[in-house]
Amino acid sequence: MTETIDPKIRSLQRRTVGVLAGAQLLGGVGSGAALSIGSLLAVDLSGSEAWAGSITTLLTLAAAFTAIPMASLAAARGRRMSLTISLLIALAGAVLMIAAASLRAFPLLLLGGAALGLGTTANLQSRFAATDLASTHHRGRDLSIVVWATTIGAVTGPNLIKPGAQLGALFGLPEMAGPFLFSAAAMVCAVILLNFGLRPDPLLTAQALGRQPLRNETTQPDSSKSVRPARNANSARKGGSLKAGFAAIRSSPRALLALATVIASHVVMVSVMSMTPLHLKQVDEHAAMGHQGMDVLAIIGVSISLHIAGMFALSPLFGWLSDRFGRIPVIVGGQLLLLGSAAVAGFGQANAVSVTVGLVMLGLGWSASTIAGATLLSESVPAEQRVLAQGVSDTLMGFSAAVGSILSGLVLASWGYGGLNLIASVLAAVVLAYLLSASLRRGRASAGY
C-alpha cells in the first residue's frame, strides 16, 4: 500500500523532527545531573542510604502521574503546549534542587525531584510527537532520531558534575548544587526552542488534515489548501482515562506484547542504573576498581555517560532495523542484550570497567526494546486512541519503574549489586518467554490448530 504525502507536510515533518531533536538534546543536559548525583544528594541530606532511590523514584512517579494529563492536553491544545508546560515545571524543579542543596532541606529536595520528573514526561512524549506527521514507512526512523538526539545532552549532563561544582563554588553553592545550574539553563533554552519552533503544531496539523498519528493508509491531502492546525478538544474528552486507554491496548495481543516489553525493559534499566552510582561509591575505587587517584564522582560521571550513550547513540540503527526486519526481532535482540548486561555487571561487580560495560549493554538493550516496542504499540491500536494509548504506556512505565527504584534500593542493601542484576535478568527472561509463547500461539493459529 502506497502513501502519498504533500510536500508541505513532508517539509513540516522534517522541521518538526529537527526542533524536537534540539529540545531533546537540551533536555538531556537538564536531566543528567539528577540521574547522576540524585541518589548521592538524597543520602547526604537524609543521612540514610534507605533514601538512595528516592529521587529516581520521584522522577519516574511524576512522569507516570502526568503522562495521561499531558497526553490529554496535547490532544486538545497540541504538542507545543504540553511539552512547554512540562519543561517549565521541570525548570522549577532544577531551581528547587539548588535551593535544597544550599539549605540542606531534604523535603525541598524531594519536591524538586518530583518537579524534575516532568522533564521525563516531555522526553517520552517527544518521541511520539515525531510520528504525528511521519510517513507510514518512516515512523520507526523518525521516532528513533528524536530519541537519538538525547545522546549529546544526556552524555554531556553527567560529565558536567565537576564543572558544575566549580561553577557553583563561584556563587557560593555546595558541590552537588552546582550541576543543576546547567540543568536550569538547558531547560530555559529547550522551552524557548519548543515554543517558537513547533509552529504549526504537528499533532493539531495532523488532526486538521484528518490524519491520525501513524495512520496506516494512503493519504493524499489537498495541497491547494494551506496547512492550518485545528484544536480538537473532543479528542481529549473521548475516554481520556487510564482505563479507556488500557482497554484499547488490551484489545490487541500485539499491543499487549509491546506494553509488556517497554514496561519490563524500563524497570530493568531504571532499577540497575539508579543503584549503580551508589554501588560504585561503596566499592574501593583505589584497590578494587584499579583507578588509583581518580575521583569517585568522575568515575560515576563517565559510567553513567557511557550508559546513556548506549541508551540513545544507536537508536537510529534500531529504528531502521525495526522498519526493515520487524519489531519483534529487534525486541528479542534487546532482551538478549539486557540478559548479557546483567551477567557482565553482576559477575564483574567489583570492577568499574566491568560495571561500565554492563551499563552500556543495559542502555543498548533498553534502546532496542523500547524503540521497537513503542512503534509496535502505536501501530497496534485504533488510530483515534493512539495518543491516549501512548500516554497509558508512559504512565505504566513510570509507575513500574518507580516501584523498581524503591525495591532496587532494598535489594542492593540485602543482596548486593549481583543480586540486583540477577533479578533484572529474570525480568528479561520472562519477556523472552512471553515472546516465545506468543509466537507459538500465532503459529498454531495460522496452522489451524
Per CATH, is 7-207+240-447 categorized as 1.20.1250.20? yes
The three-state secondary structure class of 229 is coil
Which pLDDT score is estimated for 337? 96
Provide the b/e sequence for 207-234 (b: ≥16 CB within 10 Å).
bbbebbbbbeeebebeeeeebebebbee
pLDDT tens-digit readout, 104-139: 999 999 999 999 889 889 988 998 888 888 776 777
Which pLDDT score is estimated for 299? 77
Predicted TM-score (pTM) of the model is 0.73
Of these ranges, 220-224, 320-324, 398-402, the one predicted with the greatest mean pLDDT is: 320-324
Of 45, 61, 232, nearest in space to 132 by CA: 232
Q: How far apart are the first and last CA of the chain?
A: 30
**pLDDT higher than threshold 90 for residue 92:** yes
Q: Residue 219's pLDDT band (boundaries 50, 70, 90)?
A: very low
pLDDT tens-digit readout, 1-10: 445 567 888 8
CA distance 212 to 201: 14
Which pLDDT score is estimated for 51? 81
pLDDT tens-digit readout, 231-267: 444 444 444 566 777 888 888 888 999 999 999 999 9
Burial of 183 from C-beta contacts in 10 A (0-12 / 13-18 / 19+): buried
Q: Residue 154's pLDDT band (boundaries 50, 70, 90)?
A: low
Which pLDDT score is estimated for 213? 44
pLDDT tens-digit readout, 43-84: 888 888 778 778 877 887 888 889 889 988 988 899 999 999
pLDDT tens-digit readout, 319-365: 999 988 888 999 999 999 999 999 999 898 888 888 899 999 999 99
CA distance 430 to 434: 6
